[in-house]
């Protein structure tokens, strides 16, 4: 016995690709895909033909040639005799570094500012409103230049740290803030030092597991375990114990003034600091509005019900409001992370050598390989953007409401 909802019987016929609703959408999608492939094939063949007529060809052999330029801020070994490919790798790492730092800082600033935007204190609420309106309505490039100017024009020169009557002194005897950048101690790891770092990283995961367990226990039984001091203890105590048991396998190399500049330690150039903080403060203003909107999307009755159970305001925010607000906050937050990554291409304005400054700047100008360099730039930004989007979407799917 058949019903009206049963699919029609009989063998498959080509006419069903158009007439049958089960296949029609796939047919049109396939046709659209073929048309798109044909368009790209035509554009590609047209590009190759024009290059051939001009006596040019697409080649990436230039990546193996010496770069013949220096890069100040770098995470891997590099000199002017390194290849253009090595210079591109340095640029990629610099881009990822400033993007990662800016994303973390912008998230912290945005969450704090977004919560304080709803504070009952009038002064705090207005100050956060001024911050949001001032920073998000001024182009980020201007903030980059302002912070870079402060770093180079206001900070003292290294010679100011010489002598007993110096105008400026090192912070805690280990940190020097100069117009050439910030100098910080450099960790020196002996072979067993990596084991200490491994214990520290494992402890972080242990702390996250504890907090997840404590939250689940609270939801299941109502029993409230302390969060603050146990988390700190799990993170730091094992690593500190292993550090002393193994005989202090990690030491610090402090920056020392020698001649006209500091030697030793790690130098963080002012261009990196300017780009990092400008992106963080600028994007943090947008994230603050996302956080405020997410909190306001949670019914006020949720807060009142939690308060009636005797929960303190900070517990209400951490356990009731924010977990529900994240479902509203995360989707636009993904876009803000992507904006940080793409806005980092403004680094060339202050001399920070990211991938746009190396591969898309000096390398392109030296070799004249504009098409090849731009294609690689597009591939990098496409890859990193899709990766960020994929990771954040995985997290977004884990916190969204599950329908029964």
pTM for the complete prediction? Answer: 0.81
Whether the Cβ atoms of residue 231 and residue 163 lie closer than 8 Å to each other: no
Each residue's pLDDT expressed in tens, for the chain with a length of 404 residues? 444 444 555 676 767 767 777 777 788 888 899 999 999 999 888 878 887 777 777 778 888 888 888 888 888 888 888 889 999 999 999 999 999 999 999 999 999 999 899 888 889 999 999 999 989 899 999 999 999 998 888 887 777 676 654 445 677 677 888 888 888 888 888 888 888 888 899 999 998 898 888 888 877 887 778 888 888 898 899 889 988 888 888 888 888 777 677 777 888 888 899 999 999 999 999 999 999 998 888 888 888 888 887 778 777 887 788 888 888 888 889 999 999 999 999 988 888 888 998 888 888 888 888 888 888 999 999 999 999 988 888 888 877 766 55
Distance CA 263, CA 254 (A): 9
- The secondary structure of 292-359 as a DSSP string is HHHHHHS-HHHHHHHHHTT--HHHHIIIIIHHHHHHHHHHHHHHHHHHHHHHGGGGGGGT---HHHII
Q: Let me know if domain 84-164+270-399 sits in CATH 1.10.3720.10.
A: yes
CA angle 15, 16, 21 (to 5 degrees): 140
Show me where the domains of the chain are located. Answer: 84-164+270-399
Question: Residue 177 pairs with which residues in a beta bridge?
Answer: 182
């Amino acid at each position: 016995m058949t019903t009206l909802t049963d699919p029609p019987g009989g063998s498959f016929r080509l006419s069903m690709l158009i007439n049958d609703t089960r296949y029609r959408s796939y047919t049109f999608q396939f046709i659209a895909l073929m048309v798109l492939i044909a368009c790209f094939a035509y554009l590609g063949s047209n590009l190759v033909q024009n290059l051939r007529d001009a006596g040019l060809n697409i080649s990436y052999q230039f990546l193996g040639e010496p770069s013949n330029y220096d890069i100040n801020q770098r995470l891997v070994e590099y000199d002017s005799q390194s290849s253009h490919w090595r210079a591109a790798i340095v640029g990629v790492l610099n881009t990822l570094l400033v993007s990662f730092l800016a994303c973390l800082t912008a998230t912290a600033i945005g969450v704090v500012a977004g919560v304080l935007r709803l504070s009952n204190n009038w002064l705090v609420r207005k100050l956060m409103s001024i911050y949001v309106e001032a920073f998000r309505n001024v182009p980020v490039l201007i903030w980059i230049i302002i912070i870079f100017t402060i770093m180079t024009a206001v900070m003292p020169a290294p010679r100011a740290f010489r002598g007993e009557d110096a105008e400026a002194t090192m912070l805690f005897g280990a940190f020097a803030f100069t117009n050439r950048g910030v100098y910080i101690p450099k960790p020196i790891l002996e072979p067993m030092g990596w084991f200490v770092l491994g214990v520290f990283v494992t402890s972080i995961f242990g702390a996250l597991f504890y907090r997840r367990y404590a939250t689940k226990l609270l939801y299941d039984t109502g029993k409230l375990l302390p969060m603050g001091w146990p988390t700190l203890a799990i993170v730091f105590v094992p690593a500190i114990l292993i550090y002393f048991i193994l005989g202090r396998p990690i030491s610090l190399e402090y920056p020392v003034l020698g001649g006209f500049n500091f030697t030793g330690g790690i130098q963080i150039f002012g261009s990196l600091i300017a780009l990092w903080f400008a992106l963080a403060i600028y994007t943090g203003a947008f994230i603050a509005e996302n956080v405020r909107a997410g909190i306001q999307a949670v019914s006020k009755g949720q807060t009142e019900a939690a308060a009636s159970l005797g929960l303190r305001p900070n517990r209400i925010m951490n356990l009731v409001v924010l977990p529900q607000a994240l479902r509203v906050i995360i989707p636009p937050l993904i876009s803000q992370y992507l904006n940080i990554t793409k806005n980092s291409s403004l680094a060339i304005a202050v001399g920070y050598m990211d991938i746009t400054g190396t591969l898309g700047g000096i390398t392109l100008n030296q070799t004249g390989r504009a098409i090849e360099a731009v294609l690689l730039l597009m591939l990098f930004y496409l890859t990193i953007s899709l990766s960020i989007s994929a990771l954040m979407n995985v997290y977004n799917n884990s916190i969204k409401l599950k329908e029964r």
